[in-house]
């Protein structure tokens, strides 16, 4: 395992309230900001902490992913995202996230074989699709089908059995590309393509997505590499909203399929994974470079509720390192496809240039995030806009499972249960309806 261990006490913070004070341990990890351990605050001072959107709260100890938002650094198990995106493969990264170390050749082969052997769905799951409207959003299909997997694979839902946990992880990583591709096929009215075990993970997904029975399908190595890179870049991102949702659901001992379905639901929102779809819609609405200044004015107007989608991040106060790699990949993909002039890319580049020099964005440290360029690449690769967020979910599944596994294996895990400041009516007596004014 990677050198992770647990946090250590690095100091003490004293908090005084009324005539009492409490000495609270300050904990430090391997990297990053130290945290005050407030677990004994209530017993010592009789008060709770208040942090509604968790902006100042660490919810767990984790040895998986590290982000330095000021410097724009992202590490998976200590390895910089740039190196993994350049040199690794998605399944190698999946192994790394799940197990803490990069695999040796034998481990990599074994892991790949396990994932490959689980790519088919229970045939009965096929019939689920008949119940959806043809125009159902693929995220709705993903969420339901993944949740339903607990009914089809009851032999891997005992979360206290490490072997069952392992099998459910393989099942989820292996089957999510099949589910995602089939959600598209259902929308498109095309036959479902069964997985092919002679193809790599990314190739197989592209095959199930794009291939049709009457035509031979030839994988394109540049597009396969781009797909693999997109999956690596989205594989994990520490305690974001969807991952925290997975952990919260998992803290109740819910089965892993149910927890991942909860994560998919959380990812769907435009403030999170839905942003890649929203970026493209935004670019289409802006339409032309000449409309950018008016659009920027709208974004800056507090009453408009318009945001520059693909910009800003709770943690990054610098360029999201994934956005830089996405931008580079974007050029590679457009080059390979012979697209010399992509108006959406020109628009995005101009928008980025203007925003990065505008006082509104500069003073708030708003930079492009991973979603700013991903939609343009995915569009060029032939994915319809509503498939962008499902592809994000496909990639993030391994991160969710790794975080869920880490939590289940942590002996200090107990049900997550935040507190509140109650602002409702004080206690009062019930009045029967005939006596109410």
Residues that bind ligand ACO (CB under 6 A): 271-273, 275, 299, 307-314, 364, 366, 369-371
**Contact indicator for 377, 329 with CB cutoff of 8 Å:** yes
Token pair for 292: 């950018």
Give the residue from 404, 402, 69, 83 showing the smallest Cα distance to 232. 83
Q: In angstroms, what is the minimal distance from the CB of 187 to ligand ACO?
A: 23
Give the residue from 328, 272, 345, 207 showing the smallest Cα distance to 53. 272
Q: How far apart are CA 415 and CA 243, in angstroms?
A: 16
H or E element in which residue 394 lies: helix 388-409
DSSP state of 159: T
Query: First and final CA of the chain: distance in angstroms?
Result: 68
Give the residue from 383, 382, 403 showing the smallest Cα distance to 392. 383
Q: In angstroms, what is the minimal distance from the CB of 97 to ligand ACO?
A: 17
Q: Which of these is catalytic: 313, 341, 429, 434?
A: 313
Q: In angstroms, what is the minimal distance from the CB of 143 to ligand ACO?
A: 17
Q: In angstroms, what is the minimal distance from the CB of 252 to ligand ACO?
A: 24
Q: How far apart are CA 420 and CA 48, in angstroms?
A: 9
**Contact indicator for 41, 73 with CB cutoff of 8 Å:** no
Q: Which of these is catalytic: 228, 236, 320, 371?
A: 371
Q: In angstroms, what is the minimal distance from the CB of 231 to ligand ACO?
A: 14
Please state the φ and ψ torsions of residue 126, each to the nearest 5 degrees: -50, -40
Token pair for 403: 């975080």
Place of tokens 């040796």: 104
Q: In angstroms, what is the minimal distance from the CB of 308 to ligand ACO?
A: 4
Judged by DSSP in three states, 27 sits in strand
Please state the φ and ψ torsions of residue 113, each to the nearest 5 degrees: -60, -45
Residue nearest ligand ACO (C-beta atom):
312
Strand partners, 65: 76
Q: Is 320 a catalytic residue?
A: no
Give the residue from 275, 258, 256, 265 showing the smallest Cα distance to 314. 275
Q: In angstroms, what is the minimal distance from the CB of 324 to ligand ACO?
A: 14
Place of tokens 């496809």: 337
Q: Is 114 a catalytic residue?
A: no
Residue with Cβ nearer ligand ACO (151 or 362): 362
Catalytic residue numbers read: 313, 371
């Amino acid at each position: 395992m990677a050198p992770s261990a647990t946090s250590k006490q690095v100091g003490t913070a004293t908090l005084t309230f009324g005539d009492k004070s409490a000495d609270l341990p300050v904990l430090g990890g391997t990297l990053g900001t130290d945290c005050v351990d407030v677990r004994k605050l209530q017993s010592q001072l009789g008060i709770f902490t208040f942090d509604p959107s968790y902006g100042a709260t660490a919810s767990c100890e984790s040895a998986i992913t590290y982000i330095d938002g000021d410097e724009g650094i992202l590490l998976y198990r200590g390895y910089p995202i740039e190196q993994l995106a350049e040199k690794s493969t998605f399944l190698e990264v999946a192994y790394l996230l799940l197990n803490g170390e990069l695999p040796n050749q034998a481990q990599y082969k074994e892991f790949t074989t396990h994932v490959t052997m689980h790519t088919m769905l229970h045939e009965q799951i096929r019939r689920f699709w008949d119940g959806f409207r043809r125009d159902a959003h693929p995220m709705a299909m993903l969420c339901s089908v993944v949740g339903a997997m607990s009914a089809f694979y009851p032999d891997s839902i005992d979360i206290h059995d490490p072997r069952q946990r392992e099998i459910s992880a393989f099942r989820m990583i292996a089957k999510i590309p099949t589910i995602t591709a089939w959600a598209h096929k259902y929308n498109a009215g095309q036959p479902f393509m069964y997985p092919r075990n002679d193809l790599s993970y990314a190739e197989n997904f592209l095959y199930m997505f794009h291939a049709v029975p009457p035509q031979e399908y030839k994988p394109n190595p540049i597009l396969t590499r781009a797909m693999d890179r997109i999956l690596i870049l989205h594989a994990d991102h520490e305690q974001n909203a969807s991952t925290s949702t997975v952990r919260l659901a998992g803290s109740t001992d819910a089965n892993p399929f149910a927890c991942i379905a909860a994560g998919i639901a959380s990812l769907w929102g435009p403030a999170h994974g839905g942003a890649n779809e929203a970026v493209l819609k935004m670019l289409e609405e802006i339409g032309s470079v000449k409309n950018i200044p008016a659009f920027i004015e709208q974004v800056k107007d507090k009453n408009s509720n318009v945001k520059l989608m693909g910009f800003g991040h709770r943690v990054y106060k610098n360029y999201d390192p994934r956005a830089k790699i996405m931008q580079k990949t974007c050029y590679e993909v457009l080059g390979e496809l012979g697209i010399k002039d992509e108006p959406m890319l020109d628009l995005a580049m101009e928008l980025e240039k203007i925003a990065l020099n505008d006082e509104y964005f500069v003073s708030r440290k708003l930079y492009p995030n991973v979603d700013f360029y991903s939609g343009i690449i995915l569009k060029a690769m032939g994915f319809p806009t509503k498939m962008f967020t499902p592809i994000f979910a496909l990639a993030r599944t391994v991160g969710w499972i790794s975080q869920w596994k880490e939590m289940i294996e942590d002996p200090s895990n107990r049900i997550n249960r935040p507190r509140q400041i109650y602002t409702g009516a004080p206690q009062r007596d019930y009045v029967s309806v005939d006596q109410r004014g």
